[in-house]
Structure 1
Amino acid sequence: MGVLTTERLVVREWELDDADAALEIYGVDKVTRWLTPAMGQIADTDAMRLLLQAWIEDQPNMLPPRGRWAIQRRDTDEVIGGLGIRLLPPYEEDLELSWQLRPEAWGHGYAAEAGAALISWAFTQEIDELFAVARPSNTRAIGTAKRLGMTWVGETDKYYNLRLQVFRIRPSDLIDG
């Protein structure tokens, strides 16, 4: 993918040096309680570094638009979040867009800004749609999905054996910026 740049953000591949910043996302209960069972809370910097190493090694083998990326502020170079596109279980047919931000970055529109850039790029990779899933009580994620122009398509327990709200976006749904 290379690097995506928005007005305030850079979306780029993860680096091992991001471990401390990534732990402030994936090591925080306020964030990880909303994640799927496939991704638990990370205990310490060493564990975060091992997970980043796995993500970095997996990235070249993933068919675009799949992958995991860091969200970095342009003005401070601070890593404030992560984005991902991956196959949803159990059938591995639907592509899920996910986003996670450190709590201090919530409420500034960063997830929607970075997500919109990633969606635009993803639709250059010969895919027809992307999905986002959120627990019904995760109002922040639901709000971000709507700000991204995603349409609510229902509630299901098909993914992760959890009751989840499902949102979808197709190329024809893109919001003109």
Structure 2
Amino acid sequence: MRNMTPPLRTERLLIQDWRVEDAEAAFAVYGSEEVSRWLTPLMRPVGDVGAMRSVLEAWVEAQPNLVPPAGRWAILRRDDATVIGGLSIRLLPPFEEDFELSWQLRPDAWGHGYASEAGREMARWAFSQGVEELFAVARPANTRAIATARRIGMEWVGETDKYYGLRLQAFRIRPSDL
């Protein structure tokens, strides 16, 4: 089983593989209407902790088969080991040429800079795996995601309907941007 070894660490955060035991904490993220309304069509809102456990089982099973830097990880606060969100890197549809960096935090963790701190560290790791650029996409009204992409160091590259069949703001980061 491939593991991101060692887990990534920042001053305040730990980024590690998801565990099925994280279902309740993950549900606080992916079951939240405030979070799920912005998720792509590929990720529907999770209805309850049991459904979240099933999602995590699928993520945990798929993780070893993904070619780095693709994957999904949990974000934990280092001081209390609480899961506060998730990160993923995946190939964007429809052509699966561009890697997307995405982040989701539970609402009570918003406003502390955790998403940008985790996103920068994940980008550094992805670049160490040979990726030359990462993209983030956000709906135009998702001002929090747009601000986070900019804080990560991502540059706005335009508006597109290329991904997910939605009108999205696209951001890009390259190694020299970090």
TM exceeding 0.5: yes
1:129 aligns with 2:122: no
2:171 and 2:141 map into 1 onto residues whose CA distance is: 15
In 2, the alpha carbon distance for the partners of 1:99 and 1:117 equals: 12
Paired with 1:160 and 1:120, the residues of 2 have a C-alpha distance of 26
Q: For 2:143 and 2:50, how far apart are their aligned partners in 1? A: 32
Structure 2, unmatched stretches of 5+, are none
Paired residue secondary structure (2:119): helix
Q: How does 1:111-122 map to 2 (within 5 A)?
A: 111-122=115-126
Q: Of 12, 15, 40, which residue of structure 2 is paired with 1:8?
A: 12
Match of 1:19 in 2: 23
Is 1:65 the counterpart of 2:69? The answer is: yes
Is 2:15 the partner of 1:35?
Answer: no
| Counterparts of 1:68 and 1:134, CA distance in 2 | 18
CA distance, structure 2, for counterparts of residue 149 and residue 104 of structure 1: 24
Aligned length: 174
SS of alignment partner, residue 128 of structure 2: coil
Q: How does 1:1-177 map to 2 (within 5 A)?
A: 1-2=4-5, 3-174=7-178
Question: TM-score of the superposition, structure 1-length normalised?
Answer: 0.97
Shift of 1:26: 0.4
Structure 1 residue 79, shift from structure 2 partner: 0.2
> 1:3-35 deviations in whole A, cap 9, x for unaligned?
001111100000011000000000011000001
- Cα deviation, 1:55-80, whole Å, max 9, x if unaligned, reads 00110000000000000001111100
Amino acid corresponding to residue 62 of structure 1 in structure 2: L
Once the two structures are superposed, residues 108-146 of structure 1 have per-residue CA deviations (whole angstroms, 9 ceiling, x without a partner) of 000001111111011011111000000001110000000
Give the TM-score taking structure 2 as reference length. 0.97
SS in 2 for 1:83: strand
- Superposed CA RMSD in Å reads 0.5
Secondary structure in structure 2 of the residue aligned to 1:47: helix
- What is the DSSP-based 3-state SS (H/G/I as helix, E as strand, rest coil) of the residue aligned with 2:95? coil
Following TM superposition, the consecutive aligned residue runs of length 4 or more in structure 1 with deviations greater than 4 angstroms are none
- Provide the C-alpha distance between the structure 1 equivalents of 2:15 and 2:99, rounded to a whole number of angstroms: 19
Q: Distance in 2 between matches of 1:98 and 1:32?
A: 13
What percentage of residue pairs aligned between the two structures are identical? Answer: 67
